[in-house]
Structure 1
Amino acid sequence: MASRDWIEIESFEAVDDIGQFDRPDIPRVEAILSGAPEREWQQFFVVRARALEQTQPGLRMEILADRLGFHTRAAHIEETCRLVNDAVQGTNHDYAAQRAAEEKRIADRDEEVRELMAKVKTVNAAWPPGSPGK
């Protein structure tokens, strides 16, 4: 897979919003990703993120370019970072499996086309059926 297909979390950063107005009750953390995930990867991530958010009240994840933002309390930071990393790694595996299945489908179809071409040559060699001299 291409390097943009496999995303890693390189580090986490707490967002310093001290002194800002209209901030959410729970502080924000950003995971710095190894690259900006492609749209298709992000679609797989959304499925995992929403499933995780269902089991973790208050957790909301969003990807902006090469950063994955979420809110968490300081007391839960290590657990939350592990959950977020697991979601990213699970997305990598889901995306890789889908890509492999698509590549196999294409390879299977290409093989079928090659087989069909060979059989058409055989049919053409004896065409028309029942013609004199054949």
Structure 2
Amino acid sequence: MKKLYVAALIYMIAGLGSGIYYRELTKAMNFHGESMLSILHTHLLILGMFFFLILIVMEKVFVLTASKRFSLFFWTYNVGVVWTITIMVIHGTRDVLGVSSGPAIAGMAGMGHIVLTIGFVLFFIILKDVLFEKAK
């Protein structure tokens, strides 16, 4: 339970910090276009803070952490989120600075999304196991 709370808290701080970073960098560079930084704040708050806040409630009801797969899910999901967010920061910052991002950035972003997807699959396996176990 504490691990879920700490994860939500860290993502909340990162989400709010990313909003400040976006605002200040674009203002300093007089940038008015589109960049990955404009959606970074929302991604961190939804995939991070809100997701883990919802998991806290689900933990109270279903005890998800009792699953032997929970730790694997937790770390896979977080690696996927952090990996994806890191590439978004790099890509978005390069856009604001006027530096082109090549195909390597897109490939790295794709790999982050794959890891995140594996995390989601693990979560739904855990949820299925817990829901069907409760139904028996």
* Structure-2-length-normalised TM-score: 0.37
Q: Which has the higher helix share?
A: 2
Q: Which is bigger in relative contact order (C-alpha 8 A, separation at least 6)?
A: 2
Report the structure number with the largest CA radius of gyration: 1
Q: TM-score of the superposition, structure 1-length normalised?
A: 0.38
More strand by share: 1
